[in-house]
Amino acid sequence: MSKSLQAIRGMNDILPEQTPLWRYFESTVARLLDNYGYKQIRMPIVEFTELFKRSIGEVTDIVEKEMYTFEDRNGDSLTLRPEGTAACVRAVLEHGITGGGQVQKLWYIGPMFRHERPQKGRYRQFHQIGLEVFNLDGPDIDAELIIMTWRLWGELGIRDAVKLELNSLGTSESRGRYREALVEYLSAHHDKLDEDSQRRLKTNPLRVLDTKNADTQAVLVDAPKMADYLDDESRAHFEGLKARLDAVGIPYVLNPKLVRGLDYYSKTVFEWVTDKLGAQGTVCAGGRYDGLVEQMGGKPTPGVGFAMGIERLVLMLETLEQIPAEISRQVDVYLCAFGEEAELAGLALAERVRDQLPNLRLQVNAGAGSFKSQFKKADKSGALYALILGDDEMAGQVVGFKPLRGQGEQQSIAWDALAAHLATCVVQG
Ligand code: HAM
């Protein structure tokens, strides 16, 4: 195939055989978010480039090398959003909906774009469900976010395969003091650091902590620990969060090297990780960002949130075979009609049934065809029952009702009684 007719590398079609699992995942999360009192917000996919530079941080992988940035026809620099937090903060500020301390509990879903090296679980267009809470500064809401995801893993049947990693980055003051101590220590071991860490030491020293380089990791063993630099407020916040997780019985691992790849975090940071997906094991990640709204030009407004990668979680459901049986069947009943008169009667009958049973997945044969070919299509559709309308049925104002899976003889059902009959065998049965 010529290159122009292929999708862009790292940007995938989600094919009809995959969408039922995506929709199951998305609707499970959406129901949970509704139940916990979160409201959906929808932001544009493109924003001014400046927004991401100012919020995510100039010296981050995302901003330095992963953004899809282009010039608009009028010369503005625009970027396909690499994440949702920045745009959400922009939106709440622009519409004044966090003013006067108003609490907002918001969620969003949609594609994000990062020019990363594609591999299993890492794509250039990927999808997140994220949420952001504004104007609540206590550890109780941090705990709620984590408790909610814990419930989600339980509902999805993947709880045993994920682990919660937790850290506190402290307030910006305590992080500043820690940064100084870390720079002093790492500078004394400059020659032993890998090249990337030497560069980060100058630009974004905390990121040295999550290096993958073994030599640098060895140097880090004796480095100053962030926990020793936390101020009283951050420490109390972190203890408050841990106490709540303990109360609900959610296990966690403290990871002092968890710093996250975006600059806006303060205090709590967390990641849900799995070893079932290979290298791209973080399925959900987030934390608190109490300074971000102010930094973006708003009044001081505490914020906390997270985002989960839909591709990674769908992959997990597949890997762990946690796919509910009912999502693979798309059709309950398939109506076959033979001859023009029967086709017309079938259409009207189908609409009457749909009026009475709005949840029934009823497919009417299209494209006519012989008895054999329509039956083949009915079977292939996965339907539980076929409805048959031929000359005999038309004469008797009945429909043939034939079980396609398992036992049972074909019966004749009067048109008027069809919806009630289907209700007993499909919708409730
Ligand atoms: P993030 O850690 O950059 O955080 O992304 C969150 C999640 O999105 C990751 O844990 C992962 O599951 C998924 N993800 C990220 N990049 C890719 C990729 N290239 N391919 C597939 N999945 C990916 C954020 O985006 C923050 N905005 C989260 C947040 C919200 N923090 C506070 N509020």
On average, the pLDDT of the chain sits at 95
Percent of the chain with pLDDT over 90: 89
Say if CB 169 and CB 226 are below 8 A apart: yes
What CA–CA distance (Å, rounded) separates 29 from 40?
12
- pLDDT tens track for 242-260: 999 999 999 999 999 998 8
The identity of residue 208, as a single letter, is: V
What CA–CA distance (Å, rounded) separates 35 from 48?
34
**CB neighbours (10 Å) of residue 142?**
30
- pLDDT tens track for 312-355: 999 999 999 999 988 878 899 999 999 999 999 999 999 999 99
Residue ranges of the chain whose pLDDT lies below 50: 428-429
What CA–CA distance (Å, rounded) separates 350 from 355?
9
Task: Summarize the annotated binding site for L-histidine as residue ranges.
Answer: 83-85, 114, 128, 132, 260, 264-265
Complete domains list, the chain, with CATH: 19-171+231-319 (3.30.930.10), 331-424 (3.40.50.800)
- pLDDT tens track for 297-320: 999 999 999 999 999 999 999 999
Please tell me the distance between residue 420's alpha carbon and the centre of ligand 1 in angstroms: 48
The residues that bridge with 112 in the sheet, in sequence order, are 126
What CA–CA distance (Å, rounded) separates 231 from 177?
10
Q: Return the pLDDT at 147.
A: 98
Q: b/e per residue, 310-332, with b = 16+ CB within 10 A?
A: bbbbbbbbeeeeeeeeeeeeebb
Ligand 1 atom with the shortest distance to the CA of 123: 20
The identity of residue 378, as a single letter, is: A
Token readout for 186 is 């790492």
CB 107 near ligand 1, within 6 Å: no
The set of residues, in sequence order, having a beta carbon less than 8 Å from that of 184 and lying 6+ positions away, is none
Q: Return the pLDDT at 326.
A: 82
The identity of residue 5, as a single letter, is: L
**CB neighbours (10 Å) of residue 74?**
5
What CA–CA distance (Å, rounded) separates 395 from 289?
71
Mutation pick for ligand 1 pocket among 112, 263, 315 (CB with most ligand atoms within 8 Å)? 112
